[in-house]
A and B are shown apart, each in its own frame.
Chain A
Amino acid sequence: MSDQIISTEQDLAARFPDTVAHDERNGYQGYIVDKDQLVEVVTAIRDEYGFDYLSSVTGVDYLPEDSMEVVYHLFRSTGGPGLVIKTQTSRANAVVPSLVSVFPGADFQEREAWDLLGIKFEGHPDLRRILMWEGFEGYPLRKDWREAYYEEDSKPFKSRWPGGEVHRFEDANIFGKNVDYPAGFDPETWVPDQDSSLYGNLMKVDGHGSGLKTDQIIVNLGPQHPSTHGVFRMVVTLDGETILALKPVMGYLHRNHEKIGERNTFLQNMPFTDRLDYLSSMSNNFGYALAVEKLMGVEPPERAEYLRVIMAELTRISNHVFAIGMFLNDLGAYFTPALYAIEERELILDIFEATSGSRMMCNYFRFGGVARDLPAGVLDKIRNLVYERLPRKIDELDLYLSNNEILRSRGQGVGVLTPEEAIAYSAAGPVLRASGVPYDIRRADPYSIYDRFEFDVAVRYHGDVYDRYLIRIDEVQQSIRILQQAVRDIPEGPIQTGKPQYQVRVPAGESYGRVDGPKGELGYYVVSTGKPNPWRYHVRAPSFINLTAMEKMCVGDKVADAVAILGSIDIVLGETDR
């Protein structure tokens, strides 16, 4: 394939003069593709230009222009900068061809855009709501849609200003206690329309053809199930114990983070990003800060960059040890490994608490720097951890678990995702790298100061559950290496560019900031119109998109393996459901 790749310099608009145009709006980049030729152009981009990794699909509601835009961010799995393409459609009849046939990883993201923005993707095999409940009316991310408790389009709300009246937030609930059913509605007999189409799709699956006349059964794993790491449901079709088909059902923790984000000012979003992947808030802050800094054109000072890297890598360690512990829980090693792992996490959280004021909801990053410097003694604590304790403890964890026969037999050869599939399904982070694709944004498209550190991109080649466990140990070891260099080299100096400001001026335009978070590629797509609030704020959530490949991993394995596979993907529902 590589010899067919046309050099990046060749202009896409020159290759498709009639259907592709440069996006010439101020502050925008990339190309606008005619929606009728979208599939053809994207296929060419994938096969000829080598952009084989579809990172993000999302929509933007341009209400004043009366148009709906779908934005695609594509990257090469070999590394390098990305390519942004967009396609436009009308708001009233928003229809765009689906890209699932080219990139299966677009599946859930298109469903999300349909659910929240009402963009219909023609040719999508299973276009149902994904985050909202099935009886929901309207498309909440559209700019003319208003939520319950609606006060104003943007914060700060006038009612809260000096002179406003105090009231309890709950008293503003327009539904009162909300326990009355409409006349003629019986919840006992009500069947949501969507359930039938969900189960209907699962019933169509062909069996393995074992010759025996066996019935297929559909089993709901979850939403209330201890192995789902939250409130998450998997509907599986079983033939005996073998999984024939699996559909994840999510959205039980949906709070429309993106709508909240569009009401907020740019700075007010920062503490809200903590609540996405609540186990690694520092990484969430990082990605959002990068996206907005790109728009603002500010760069943090040297010391702040080091602090950011230190915090992001400590987050990765605490997340991965926690993920390993919880994964072992899923395999039935009930809480002994988890608690061993959590000890190390606890010491890292102490550092976060001393620095940022909170253990998990850190809210530490600011545009152009970080909130405050390390208090006295904390750097020594970090040094002590990364030079002394952590390497020893990770080795102990490795000795404790990696050769355990039960773990190996539960993990090896189970839930296999091949490298081609991993790329096609837009898997990210440890899931992608465990499948033999050495794609790490810290190397492939370096941000912040990661190009200065010496570390290896962890990669494993089997793509099974066991490798997804091992890669987390590898990554922790590499993070320790980065941290050792960072605490050695960190300079003195300011931690913020300019004065701390609560009202930041963000020029009009779009930007996509992405970091390699502990769960995978965490991207923020931000559109600014120059106002204090973002026009569009989208989160490319790795936990959510990694689940797209869940069915692929599970089919053919036993139902008990689904639990292990889910544990090995390492999802957090705060981020999945947003």
Chain B
Amino acid sequence: MDGMGIVKGLGVTFKRFVETYLDDIKWLGKRYYTEEGINHRMSADTRGVFTIQYPEEKLPVPEEFRYIPFLLYEEGENGEKIDRCTSCGICAKVCPPQCIWIVRTNDPKTGRPVPQPADFYIDVDICMNCGFCAEYCPFDAIKMDHDYEIAVYDRQTNNIYNKEKLSKPVSYYASIRPVNYSREEQARKEAAEAKAARRRGKQKSQSA
């Protein structure tokens, strides 16, 4: 009990204290509020101040980051929105807190269901951001968003998102998840080609 343990421990604290200033001097003011500064503070080489001054600074989110699903639509030539969703209901089925409702469209003449949602609701209050809907959607129609700043003043009226609020263009998806997007587009293209090839084959055999 000679106090050396405490002195050594304080030495560690002192070392870290000095390092804070050394790093600040080394970066000459660029350590804060700049992109490379934030990236440096997230790296394994970082010393000194570790914190991010949110909301002035924001941590970049990785591509896989998931927060609240959104629906994808393709932009048509005349600016119309073509939903990718076919209202198959797999997302509603797989959702652990069961926060998804889909209203199906019926053909006004025949009354038969059309593969397009009339409306699509997500109760954001109970969504647990697990990402299952995006993971198991066979049409790449629902994906997880990156926008985590969704606080509202009135949760009673604002937290059921409808289709209009949920829909975002495919180009937005491509911008937040470029790697996933290019991989999925590749797969979609291949699947479409395979389908077209099958159809050609069928037509040939029919005509023959």
Give A residues with C-beta under 8 Å from B. Answer: 155-157, 160-166, 168-170, 264-265, 267-272, 336, 340, 343, 346-347, 350, 353-358, 361, 363, 371-372, 375-376, 381, 384-385, 388-389, 396, 399-409, 500, 502
Contacts and interface: CB of A to CB of B under 8 A. Distances in A.
Interface string B114-128: 000000010101101
B103 interface: yes
Given A162-B87, A169-B126, A403 B4 contact: yes
A358 B128 CA distance: 11
Interface string B1-16: 1011110110011001
B50 A502 contact: no
Interface stretch (B23-31, B72-80, B93-101, B197-205): B93-101
A537 B104 CA distance: 35
A271 B132 contact: yes
Interface string B66-97: 10000000000000000000010110111110
Contacts of B96: 155, 264, 268-269, 271-272
A202 to B, nearest CB: 36
B170 interface: no
A170 B8 contact: no
B132 A267 contact: yes
B50 to A, nearest CB: 5
B125 A169 contact: yes
Interface in B41-67: 42, 44-45, 50, 61-66
A354 B64 contact: yes
A278 to B, nearest CB: 12
Contacts of B16: 340
A532 to B, nearest CB: 10
A384 B130 CA distance: 29
Contacts, number: 135
Contacts of B142: none
Nearest to B91: A502
Given A162-B87, A267-B94, A375 B102 contact: no
A93 to B, nearest CB: 36
Interface in B116-151: 121, 123, 125-126, 128-132, 135-136, 144
B123 A169 contact: yes
Q: How large is the interface on B (under 10, 10 to 19, 20 to 34, 35 or more residues)?
A: 35 or more
Contact of B9 (A264, A358, A400): A400
Nearest to A271: B130
Q: Which of B6, B66, B96 has the most CB of A within 10 A?
A: B96
A375 B136 contact: no
A314 B76 CA distance: 46
Contact of A403 (B8, B92, B126): B8
A520 to B, nearest CB: 26
A406 B8 CA distance: 13
A502 B136 contact: yes
A408 B63 CA distance: 45
Nearest to A387: B44
Contacts of B156: 168
B17 to A, nearest CB: 11
B13 A336 contact: yes
B196 interface: no
A166 B4 contact: no
Shortest beta-carbon contacts, A-B, top 8:
A403-B5, A271-B130, A357-B66, A354-B62, A268-B96, A400-B12, A357-B64, A502-B136
A347 B64 contact: no
A110 to B, nearest CB: 30
Given A169-B125, A271-B132, A406-B6, A162 B64 contact: no
Contact of A375 (B44, B64, B95, B144): B64
B129 A358 contact: yes
22 contacts: A156-B93, A160-B92, A160-B98, A160-B101, A161-B92, A162-B89, A168-B125, A268-B94, A357-B131, A357-B144, A358-B66, A372-B64, A375-B179, A399-B8, A399-B12, A400-B13, A402-B5, A403-B9, A406-B6, A500-B136, A502-B90, A502-B132
B160 interface: yes
A361 B6 contact: no
B64 A156 contact: no
B135 A165 contact: no
A170 B98 contact: no
A384 B44 contact: yes
Contacts of A169: 99, 123, 125-126
A156 B3 contact: no
A155 B96 CA distance: 8
Contacts of B93: 156, 161, 502
Given A264-B96, A268-B96, A166 B121 contact: yes
Given A162-B89, A346-B50, 17 more contacts: A157-B98, A161-B89, A162-B103, A166-B123, A169-B99, A169-B123, A169-B126, A343-B50, A350-B42, A354-B64, A356-B64, A371-B131, A376-B179, A381-B44, A385-B44, A389-B45, A400-B8
A363 B136 CA distance: 14
Contacts of A409: 1
Nearest to B157: A168
Contact of B12 (A157, A361, A381, A396): A396
Contacts of B95: 156, 160, 268
B101 A164 contact: yes
Nearest to A272: B96
Contacts of A162: 87, 89, 92, 102-104
Contacts of B66: 357-358
Contacts of B135: 371, 500
Given A363-B131, A403-B5, A500-B135, A375 B63 contact: yes
Interface in B155-188: 156, 159-160, 179
Given A162-B92, A163-B103, A164-B101, A361 B130 contact: yes
Contacts of B121: 166
Given A340-B16, A399-B8, A389 B98 contact: no
Given A168-B123, A268-B96, A502-B90, A353 B160 contact: no
A265 B61 CA distance: 31
Contact of B44 (A164, A264, A388, A406): A388
Contacts of A156: 92-95, 98
Contacts of A346: 50
Given A271-B132, A354-B64, A363-B130, A166 B101 contact: yes
A542 to B, nearest CB: 24
A336 B12 CA distance: 11
Contact of B104 (A163, A265, A384, A399): A163
A260 to B, nearest CB: 9
Nearest to B16: A340
A372 B179 CA distance: 13
Contacts of A385: 44
B88 to A, nearest CB: 8
